[in-house]
Structure 1
């Protein structure tokens, strides 16, 4: 068995969703990523995670360098919106009132009534 969970290079590794893992592994060295890959294969062995880790190991072998990342930011958690606006009574659209059942907004034409 390789590393214990509390000794892994990524905190809360087992609780991170795959998109967050793909982003976070970019900051790891080859040795750290190899340890993490061994842990993944011994435990969950999730194919998307294993594939992403192997691809990143290939990139590192070809000369890529680990990038700095902010591990305190979790894309899986909602934060404050920077660009959005607050929707309230004064900014929401008009109410939608569909016609009651059995009262279509346009009456149906009689079947024998054709236009030429």
Structure 2
């Protein structure tokens, strides 16, 4: 089965922590589809175990949680604050490198 046919968009690129959260939004059929795909591709123990546990919960009456399985949530980096806080007023003192034999450098005692 191609990745584009899976219930979670960009499944192969989602971090494990995100997967374990997103599978809670899926029903049993979608979860079985993902589990079969996972077993035949990466077969990551943590992901397979989480999916099996969730399938067991659904079989025992649990309901898929609300929410959008495609939502990025914590996966997206925070927006850039914009601009650098560095300015002439926040620069450190000038650095005087070692003289390296330069007798005109006043930083080195003679």
TM-score tier after normalising by the smaller chain length: 0.5 to 0.7
SS in 2 for 1:44: coil
1:78 paired to 2:56: no
**Deviation of 1:23 (Å):** 0.6
Unpaired segments ≥5 residues, structure 2: 87-91, 93-110
Where does structure 1 lack aligned partners over 5 or more consecutive residues?
Answer: 82-87, 90-94, 96-116
In the alignment, what sits opposite 1:9? 7
**In structure 2, distance between residues paired with 1:72 and 1:79:** 15
2:38 counterpart SS class? helix
> 1:37 and 2:35 equivalent?
yes
Distance 2:36 2:72 in 1: 25
Aligned-pair Cα RMSD in Å: 2.2
Counterpart of 2:99 in structure 1 is: none
Other-structure match for 2:67 = 69
Structure 1 segments of 4 or more deviating over 6 A? none
Cα shift at 1:80: 4.5
- Give secondary structure in 2 for the equivalent of 1:75: helix
